Amino acid sequence: MSSVEIVPFEAEHAAGVARLCTTVQWPSLSDPCTVERVCTAPGSTAYVAITDGQVVGWAQALGDGVLQSHLSFLAVHPDHRRRGIARLLTTATFQSTHTLRMDLITDSADGFYTSFPHKKMSGFRIYPGA
């Protein structure tokens, strides 16, 4: 098994993140320009997991730098799952927000997120104008 390196997102990672998003079927993030804008937006922090020079994981969060952050995206390539990469990405991204708490929504990874210290809460995803 190759080692993994967790590093802050840089513009050079945008194409790799876009390929990963295509693999995990997130079409809204399949364009490297969109990925770069998301990862460099004000209040955004993002990390990538690199193995053998390839992006195999990615996480992005938004935060106020004081109290509150939101884990917006977390993806690991299917061939690299169950190796601790998602935990490393979540931890690095949360720490870099410099916030006291992080909220998130999930539709498929409850078991993973409950492995972190947490308080389960109800939430909504709102689509204004839809």
Per-position DSSP letters for the chain, written without gaps between them: ----EEEE--GGGHHHHHHHHHHTT-GGG-SHHHHHHHHHSTTEEEEEEEETTEEEEEEEEEE-SSSEEEEEEEEE-GGG-SSSHHHHHHHHHHHHHT-SEEE---SS-HHHHTTSS----------TT-
State pLDDT tens for residues 5-18: 999 999 999 999 99
CATH number, domain with residue 43: 3.40.630.30
Is 104 a domain residue? yes
> Which of 11-15, 21-25, 87-91, 102-106 is least confident?
102-106
Tokens at 14, concatenated: 């945008």
Average pLDDT, the chain: 88
Provide the domain count of the chain.
1
Residue 101 domain-assigned (yes or no): yes
Q: Is residue 99, in this structure, part of any structural domain at all?
A: yes
The answer to whether residue 47 sits within a structural domain is: yes
By residue range, what is the domain housing residue 93? 5-113
Q: pTM for the complete prediction?
A: 0.85
Q: Is residue 128 part of a domain?
A: no
Asked if residue 102 is part of any domain, the answer here is yes
Considering the domain boundaries, does residue 9 fall inside one?
A: yes
> Does some domain include residue 17?
yes
